Structure 1
């Protein structure tokens, strides 16, 4: 095992469309065995800086408009990609300001996710808009981007990619752990006691709750789940929400805003116009908790602990509902957040893309075929040199 380390940047802007999370991190080099996991790496991973930059209302509107077909969308995507690269560059500048002892020349690469605007692996593509060439020009740092496409080209879903990282930093001998990322979409990583890892997208995370509170109150999200907690779960509406083919599909599988979008929700709500808005919010929260809990109970009933990351980790109502749903299914895993493992829930995905950039620079695979369904291990990403 090579015990040297290199500095990487990870940038993540997810399906919540709220902004970009960035990390500057020193990662221990991994071996060349081809294993996507590197158990124990968390003990030598050193966070140097972190930053969050919200999207401007204009950029968020641009990106939101690209979530569905529209007129002149190639031109509009190009403009949004340029604006996004500028925002990424500002996030990198913030990271470097916080760590003056880390010169640009010491940064091996920046792993940049881009913003998903289409995810259609069943048609052979996934599209994360970005302008990594512009970002490399702005920052003078090697950029590793387009990280999902190679897995899709190999017959995989291109998502989730985080389970390999979760195994590397959160895996523990003799423990069955589940890591739940709740961004716009929810996904789980099951870290089994025998060292194997599985994972998939469970369905909506925050996307429907965010859309409903924005529609009803003009807020970006339901802070702490306080509004949802004031309502009552409507059983018939919950059953209608659960009547979705995706939820019955066997993994490997992945989803996104292509399916769980506002008009999907509007169609489900059409027969429930008399339900109070606050009760709709409570039911949407219960829907996210139920879909995650049902998948954990089915695929990891023996889990010791469930560690939540992403924005949903800060929704206390959602975490309470998740715990209740697990208990109802006979799964007694403790529900907590990745803070307990020494990593802030807001930093996990950005760290994952720094780790994926490291895998690329070392020419090591970043996917897990048993998770994505790809034909084999693949080196993920494309390089845009400084």
Structure 2
């Protein structure tokens, strides 16, 4: 894209989710009320950074200085990746209206006496390094009004994927799986269904030293352990009515290991974890009888075994990726945070109270001006 083409509707979205598989960067043109992705790329997260983030999420103790330094380092990494993206896209900072940075979630606790969520990756640094207005800290204003602060993408899904006559469900399979229910002339619903890739990735990393199960091949080599699947699905979270959200604080390696027996084979555990994701998603999808189209995005779209299992569990549904409506499934969430930045810059609300449980619609995010 030549730099001579300038639009004040160009926004950048940054998304690094609970899977920790990379920083997704998307440059989006929102001109003419349309969504045109100009650039999309995933930047690998350095191994040391991933280990530090996982350490926090898994409850390892650290000093305030270590937390502050990691916040700084992630901000530097994000800012430098944005500059590389701009260079590769043939754009300059002057072409971009704003960056929407989700930040890296290290803790999310919406249901305690004093609810809080923490995303790190200093937005001041991102703004300074890129010379672009940066919007970050999207979740806490929703929580200030009693909401879960998550999921935030349903408002974007509503804007992008709604069909005037056809019921749709958008399923994002990241570390956590979340869905958005889009029914004509009915309020949009959305919530976290439970684990997506998170436990699958965690288990294979401990057993085979791989970051993820490519195509779900290792899971497919195993057999379901019925009693273990039943134990997994007995987790109380699955029976909580929405609004609800979850994360690594609940579904983590410690949660998994508490439920294992020595006689279980590793590949059978992986297959059972795949079935946990598939069943917990499918049971929620079946609740909405008017929506027979399932649009899937997120890293889980590449897990062929998981997608085929979902198709088997949902025989009455048309199941395909968001590519069917010309949106790259790998970058839907990054595009969503570009859109949320646009909403903030324009002074428009970014949450859906019926989804998050907040008392009202509010503008989300703090603005960092370079």
Count of aligned pairs? 362
Q: Write the distance in 1 (CA, Å) between the matches of 2:167 and 2:197.
A: 26
- Kept after mapping to 2: 8 A contact 1:51/1:91: no
Match of 2:307 in 1: 319
Q: Write the distance in 2 (CA, Å) between the matches of 1:142 and 1:219.
A: 37
Match of 1:81 in 2: 71
Is residue 281 from structure 1 mapped to residue 270 from structure 2 by the alignment?
A: yes
Shift of 1:28: 3.3
Match of 1:53 in 2: 43
Say which is worse superposed, 365-374 or 164-173, in terms of deviation.
Answer: 164-173
Shift of 1:195: 4.7
What TM-score does the superposition give when structure 2 sets the normalisation length?
0.95
Shift of 1:303: 1.5
* Moved segments of 4+, more than 4 Å: none
Is residue 372 from structure 1 mapped to residue 360 from structure 2 by the alignment?
A: no
Superposed, 1:169-318 pairs within 5 Å as 169-269=160-260, 272-298=261-287, 300-318=288-306
Root mean square deviation of aligned Cα? 1.3
Match of 2:13 in 1: 10
Give 3-state SS (helix, strand or coil) of 1:199's partner.
strand
Shift of 1:151: 0.4
Match of 1:353 in 2: 337
Say which is worse superposed, 254-263 or 126-135, in terms of deviation.
Answer: 126-135
Unaligned runs of 5+ in 2: 1-6
Match of 1:24 in 2: 27
- Kept after mapping to 1: 8 A contact 2:183/2:290: no
Shift of 1:94: 2.4
Give 3-state SS (helix, strand or coil) of 1:115's partner.
strand
The C-alpha deviation readout for 1:102-151, integer Å capped at 9, x for no partner, is: 33112111000001111011132111112011111111111100001100
Say which is worse superposed, 195-204 or 355-364, in terms of deviation.
Answer: 195-204
Give 3-state SS (helix, strand or coil) of 1:256's partner.
coil
Q: Write the distance in 1 (CA, Å) between the matches of 2:30 and 2:222.
A: 44
Shift of 1:5: 6.0
- Kept after mapping to 2: 8 A contact 1:136/1:143: yes
Match of 2:3 in 1: none
Give 3-state SS (helix, strand or coil) of 2:169's partner.
strand
Unaligned runs of 5+ in 1: 30-40
Shift of 1:98: 2.4
Q: Write the distance in 2 (CA, Å) between the matches of 1:72 and 1:293.
A: 39
Give 3-state SS (helix, strand or coil) of 1:259's partner.
coil
- Kept after mapping to 2: 8 A contact 1:242/1:287: yes
- Kept after mapping to 1: 8 A contact 2:278/2:310: yes
Q: Write the distance in 2 (CA, Å) between the matches of 1:5 and 1:196.
A: 31
Match of 1:34 in 2: none
Say which is worse superposed, 224-233 or 91-100, in terms of deviation.
Answer: 91-100
Match of 1:381 in 2: 365
Shift of 1:74: 2.1
What TM-score does the superposition give when structure 1 sets the normalisation length?
0.91
Q: Write the distance in 2 (CA, Å) between the matches of 1:104 and 1:5.
A: 11
| Structure 1 residues 78 and 193, CA gap change in structure 2 (3 angstroms) | same
Give 3-state SS (helix, strand or coil) of 1:119's partner.
strand
Match of 2:118 in 1: 127
The C-alpha deviation readout for 1:19-60, integer Å capped at 9, x for no partner, is: 10001111137xxxxxxxxxxx4xx22211112111111000
| Structure 1 residues 97 and 126, CA gap change in structure 2 (3 angstroms) | same
- Kept after mapping to 1: 8 A contact 2:8/2:95: no
Match of 1:335 in 2: 319
Say which is worse superposed, 181-190 or 228-237, in terms of deviation.
Answer: 228-237
Match of 2:4 in 1: none
Give 3-state SS (helix, strand or coil) of 2:9's partner.
strand
The C-alpha deviation readout for 1:236-288, integer Å capped at 9, x for no partner, is: 1100111111111000000000000110000111xx32121111111000000
- Kept after mapping to 2: 8 A contact 1:52/1:91: no
Shift of 1:193: 1.8
